[in-house]
Amino acid sequence: MSIVIPNRDEARVLKQCVNGLLHETRYPNIELVIVDNGSIEAAVVELYRSLEREGRAVIVPFDRPFNFSAACNAGAAAARGDLLLFLNNDIEVIQPDWLDELMRWAERPDVGIVGAKLLYPDRTIQHAGVVFGLGLVSHIFSRAPEGISGLFGSSECYRNYLAVTGACQMMRKEVFRHLGGYDERFRLVFSDVVLCLEARKAGYRVVYTPYARLVHHESYTRKREDSAQDMELLARYLRATGFVEDPYLHPELDPKFFVPALRPPFDPTPRQYIRQYVERVLSNVAAG
pLDDT in tens, 78-106: 999 999 999 999 999 999 999 999 999 99
Write down the pLDDT at residue 218.
78
190: left (phi over 0), alpha (psi -120 to 50) or beta: left
What is the C-alpha to C-alpha distance for residues 168 and 69, in angstroms, rounded to an integer? 14
Residue spans of the chain under pLDDT 50: 220-224
* Residue 224: per-residue pLDDT: 45
User: Would the pTM count as exceeding 0.85?
Assistant: yes
What integer pLDDT is reported at residue 219 of this predicted model?
54
pLDDT at 227: 86
- The DSSP line for 168-217 is EEEEEHHHHHHHTSS-TT-SSSSHHHHHHHHHHHTT-EEEEEEEEEEEE-
Buried b or exposed e, range 126-161, using 16+ CB within 10 angstroms: bbbbbbbbbebbebbbbebebebeeebeebeeebeb
Whether residue 190 contacts residue 68, with contact meaning beta carbons closer than 8 Å, is answered with no
Helices H, strands E: what count in the chain? 8, 14
Total count of residues recorded for the chain: 288
Question: 126 phi and psi, to 5 degrees?
Answer: -100, -40
Q: Residues 164-180: pLDDT tens digits?
A: 999 999 999 999 999 99
- What integer pLDDT is reported at residue 225 of this predicted model? 53
Report the C-alpha gap between 166 and 117 in whole angstroms.
12
CA distances from 34 to 51, 71, 76, 90, 94 (A): 10, 9, 10, 13, 21
The CA-to-CA distance between both ends of the chain, in Å, stands at 46
